[in-house]
Amino acid sequence: TERELARLDRLHVIGEMAAGIAHEIRNPMTTVRGFLQLMGSRQAVPPKDMLDVMVEELNRANSIISEFLALARSKSTDRKRQPLNRVIAAIAPLIQAEATLAGKSVLLELRPCPELELDEKEIRQLILNLALNGLEAMEAGGQLSISTCCEGDCVMLEVGDQGSGMNPEVLGKLGTPFFTTKEQGTGLGLAVCFSIAARHQAKLTCRTGREGTVFTLRLPMNGAPSPDIHA
Ligand code: ADP
Ligand code: MG
């Protein structure tokens, strides 16, 4: 029956994801175990860079698990009518700090928009994931721009960078869990973004070129327009 097929389909997806997770977590564990064994056999204080690598690898395993959990959640649990601009303002200092640390800048252009039914934690996560990707894409420095505006029956959020863009092969794989071109990447950031967008009935699209990449999220303003306009 259709229902049974849907269930098997889901099991299949879960199986695939589990295999991916197992693989991704095993890599950092193997690295850390190797270092620990080496330290045990030498009975010496390990050099600082070895310890740094171990911490980094454990951090990576940790992000894989938390991003995977975000992905596995099927429903937004905490939706409230609120202005998107306020959610952005809440996460902006963190993005600003990351940018400053890396010698890059951030431009916020938040235009007045009506309130939307949003899960604040999820939308923060989505913006953060897009912003971090944008910052990481600008190896030679540059400006990350985050903007909002109203367009038709949608509130539009754009996160743009001045990186070198993506080739068609990378573009075609965006959102595939565990797809990454980065040495320390989890390949889960965009998959999480797409699943959060879907849970908000929103569309996440991307345009990319040699001058950079822009991700656009279109959140529908369902129902009557709200009289509350927030800058
Ligand atoms: P991760 O950042 O851990 O690699 P993501 O799912 O966030 O995983 O991104 C997947 C891949 O998509 C990245 O490794 C990168 O190749 C590409 N990508 C995502 N955002 C951008 C961007 N703004 N500019 C260039 N490439 C990007
Ligand atoms: Mg990422």
Beta strands in 19-178 (DSSP E): 79-82, 105-110, 113-114, 116-119, 143-151, 154-161
Indicate the DSSP class of residue 178.
Answer: T
Write out residues with Cβ below 6 Å of ligand 1: 129, 133-134, 137, 161, 163, 166, 170, 174, 179-182, 185-191, 213
Between the CA of 13 and the centroid of ligand 1 the distance, in Å, is 22
Ligand nearest to the CA of 190: 1
Backbone angles phi, psi at 210, to 5 degrees: -65, -20
pLDDT values of the chain reduced to their tens digit, one per residue, 231 residues: 666 666 666 666 666 677 778 888 888 889 899 888 888 887 777 788 888 988 988 988 888 888 777 776 666 678 999 999 999 999 999 999 999 999 999 999 999 999 999 999 899 999 999 999 999 999 999 999 999 999 999 999 999 999 999 999 999 999 988 899 998 788 889 998 998 999 899 999 999 999 999 999 999 997 545 555 555
Q: Tell me the CA distances in angstroms from 149 to 27, 81, 129, 137, one per residue in order.
A: 42, 17, 20, 24
**pTM of the predicted protein model:** 0.80
Ligand nearest to the CA of 192: 1
ipTM above 0.90, yes or no: yes
Between the CA of 151 and the centroid of ligand 1 the distance, in Å, is 26
3-state secondary structure (DSSP) of residue 22: helix
By most ligand atoms within 8 Å of CB, the mutation choice from 60, 133, 171 for ligand 1 is: 133
Estimate the share of the chain in helix, then strand, then coil, as percent rounded to the nearest 5: 50, 20, 25
For helices 120-137 and 84-101, what crossing angle results, to 10°?
A: 30
Atom of ligand 1 nearest to the CA of 191: 6
Query: Residue 186 contacts by C-beta under 8 Å, 6 or more apart in sequence?
Result: 24, 60, 63, 64, 67, 178, 180
Between the CA of 131 and the centroid of ligand 2 the distance, in Å, is 9
